[in-house]
Amino acid sequence: MKKIQNTPESYVDDMLKGIYEAHKDFVKPAGDNLRCYHAVQKKPGKVAIVTGGGSGHLPLFLGYVGQGMLDGCAVGGVFQSPSAEEMYEVTKAVDNGAGVLYLFGNYSGDILNFEMAGELAEMDDIKTCIVVGNDDVASAVKGSENVRRGVAGIFFLYKCAGAKADEMASLEEVKTLAGKVGSRVRTMGFALSPCIIPEVGHPNFTIDEDKISIGMGIHGEPGIRVEPMLTAKEIAE
């Protein structure tokens, strides 16, 4: 597949340099680390909301940093979790004195690193808490919602939690609302073709041209089944 890029290794950092240059009035990196992405403007006394995750899902995750939504984002490599240190740096950059909510998808690497970042933040007297998006019904049966993957449904958590924080609600109130929204969001993924990670250079799975994968994850995780191509109405059904 043809791709316009410099080198596969520089793909994410080149993207971030362009965003910072084009939108310098709105976002900037924390210090010299391009992958610690946060809003320029801060609102004293407001709960800050931080997300994070691997690149390759745009506009997730950094595309929702802005007024009334997220305050910062730790940016990982393509399909790679950001480091705990990057999450910690973003936390310090966005803290307004009212605590920080970590709001991200249900993936083990992200959970581990955000927990570590929270421990580091607590040492700086920055209170943190976690809400995990787990909306993907294809990844676990009813009754096991806690292990479901977080995918596109996290958008609604960003919007609602961000609006609540903008009303100067407390950290506990913002956390409670985000959890309530998450408990009511469900998504199902459908894939028509595989993706190609820039540094790999070839698809990591295959789907026949006349087939559709039902329930595939956002990194190419196996879905429920592969079927002959469906119409839009059949997919919705």
Q: Which helix (H) or strand (E) holds 21?
A: helix 11-22
In this structure, are 13 and 97 located in the same domain? yes
Out of 182, 199, 216, a domain closes at 182
What per-residue confidence (pLDDT) applies to 218?
86
In this structure, are 107 and 130 located in the same domain? yes
Task: Check the CA dihedral 66-70-71-75 and report its sign.
Answer: negative
In this structure, are 193 and 159 located in the same domain? no
Prior bond to 59 cis, omega within 30?
yes
3-state secondary structure of 188: coil
Which residues have a catalytic role annotated?
57, 219
Res. 215 pLDDT band, cuts 50 70 90: very high
Range of the domain at 175: 8-182
What per-residue confidence (pLDDT) applies to 197?
85
Whole-structure pTM value: 0.94
Contact 77, 99 (CB under 8 A): no
pLDDT for residue 201 is more than 90: no
Q: Is residue 46 part of a domain?
A: yes
Q: Is residue 2 part of a domain?
A: no
Q: Identify the bridge partners of residue 11 per DSSP, sorted by sequence position.
A: none
Instruction: Give the DSSP letter of residue 197.
Output: -
Q: Which residues contact 66 (CB under 8 A, 6 or more apart)?
A: 26, 39
In this structure, are 175 and 207 located in the same domain? no
Give the Cα separation of 113 and 60 in Å (integer).
18
Interval 168-181: pLDDT, tens: 999 999 999 999 99
Phi-psi region at 14: left, alpha or beta (left = phi > 0; alpha = psi -120 to 50): alpha
How, if at all, do strands 72-78 and 33-39 pair?
Answer: antiparallel
Torsion over CA of 43, 173, 70 and 124, rounded to 10 degrees? 70
What per-residue confidence (pLDDT) applies to 219?
85
What value does the mean pLDDT take over residues 200-229? 89
Q: Name the least confident of 45-49, 150-154, 163-167.
A: 150-154
What per-residue confidence (pLDDT) applies to 205?
82
Which CATH number do you get for residue 164? 3.40.50.10440
In this structure, are 69 and 176 located in the same domain? yes
Amino acid 118 reads G
Q: Is residue 16 part of a domain?
A: yes
Q: Identify the bridge partners of residue 102 per DSSP, sorted by sequence position.
A: 50, 130
Interval 39-61: pLDDT, tens: 999 999 999 999 999 998 999 99
What per-residue confidence (pLDDT) applies to 163?
98
Q: How many domains does the chain have?
A: 2
In this structure, are 94 and 211 located in the same domain? no
In this structure, are 121 and 160 located in the same domain? yes
In this structure, are 165 and 59 located in the same domain? yes
In this structure, are 96 and 160 located in the same domain? yes
Instruction: Give the DSSP letter of residue 105.
Output: E
